[in-house]
Amino acid sequence: MFDKLRGAIDSAVTKATTKELSEKNLADAVWELQMVLIQNDVAVEVAEHICDLTKEKILGTRTGRLDNISKFFKTAIHESILEVLTPEHPIDPIEFATEKKKKGEPTTILFVGINGTGKTTTLAKLASVFKDKGFTVVIAAGDTFRAGSIEQLEKHAEILDIRVIKQDYGSDAAAIAYDAIAHAKARHIDIVLIDSAGRMQSNKNLLEEMKKIVRVAEPDLKIFVGDALAGNDALSQAKEFHKAIGIDGAILTKVDADPSGGAALSIAFVTGRPVIYVGVGQNYADLRRFDPDWFAQRLIADN
């Protein structure tokens, strides 16, 4: 995972630190770093920010002698990446749901994102996580748009032994979400997971419909699902959804396909919302908590 970006950072560091780390060499090194970040799907503004932080850290801790320049440089990059990724408002859906359960209220989570990014699969993975932790779950079949989407959800629900609240194709997704929440309240079900249709972020009508779901269902958490392989497109999608409905966090899928990892950095920085999980495969168990420190460490090879 993320081997490409790690390799690129490593070669930038090596190139930069074979020389003495003078002011001029430092500027070159940071420039090199910025280039490899951008080449690996880190948005330009984010790459610039990371490089500024890295430079500050190096200049700030500069001693007369730099014995291990490479290690020093890597530490500065590591800290900078961590700073970009550490959210102001971290969320743990499990903790969140535990608190709401204590108050006797269901936790409602809406999944948004464009077609094929992995919303439905991710919803099913999270349903499985909640079930394993002893929560009861109901699913709202909010994608009434794409042919086969309700059946896809029902197949997951059958395997996971979870009820699906649905209506016909073409029905109002907001009404279905509302019904599912009412169902959860009446039956004391802990978690309501709301699927939604794949919306092109450029499609105004569909974004309006998304806003309607949020207005009617008032979900506790709105999670953007982005495809890590989409790189900078995933970032522009996240921006659009964030602007339209205000997301609380993101889940990045298909990270098992060894993408550069740049999208994770960009989405966290630009939306100011954390990446909560990453999808690492097609099975229910293939969902991992996203840990900024783990990610930052992975990006900095320690040879």
Ligand X SMILES: Nc1nc2c(ncn2[C@@H]2O[C@H](COP(=O)(O)OP(=O)(O)O)[C@@H](O)[C@H]2O)c(=O)[nH]1
> Please, what is the minimum distance in Å from the beta carbon of residue 143 to Mg ion?
5
Consecutive H or E run containing 251 = strand 249-253
Letters for 97-116 (x = contact with ligand X by CB under 6 A, - = none) are ----------------x-xx
Site for Mg ion in 138-157 (CB under 5 A): 143
Residue sitting closest to ligand X (CB): 279
Q: Which of 256, 258, 297, 301 binds ligand X (CB under 6 A)?
A: 256
All residues at 6 or more sequence positions from 148 whose CB lies less than 8 Å from its CB, including other chains = none
Pick from 40, 121, 128, 144: which binds ligand X (CB under 6 A)? 121
CA distances in angstroms from 25 to 29, 240, 303, listed in the order given: 6, 39, 22
- CB-wise, 87 or 281, nearer to ligand X? 281
Q: Judged by CB under 5 A, does residue 120 bind Mg ion?
A: yes
Alpha helices in the chain (DSSP H): 3-17, 23-39, 44-60, 69-85, 93-102, 119-132, 149-160, 173-187, 204-217, 232-245, 262-271, 292-299
Using CB under 6 A as the binding rule, whether residue 259 contacts ligand X is answered as: no
Is the CA virtual torsion 253, 220, 196, 232 positive or negative?
Answer: negative
Task: Note whether 196 binds Mg ion by CB under 5 A.
Answer: no
Angle in degrees, 0-180, between the axes of helices 69-85 and 3-17, rounded to the nearest 10: 140
Pairing of strands 163-165, 137-140: parallel
- In this chain, which of 80, 253, 260, 271 binds ligand X, going by CB under 6 A? 253
Residue 253 contacts which entry, Mg ion, ligand X, none (Cβ below 5-8 A, type-dependent): ligand X
- Residues in the site for Mg ion, rule: CB under 5 A? 119-120, 143
- Residues in the site for ligand X, rule: CB under 6 A? 113, 115-121, 198, 253-254, 256-257, 279-282, 286
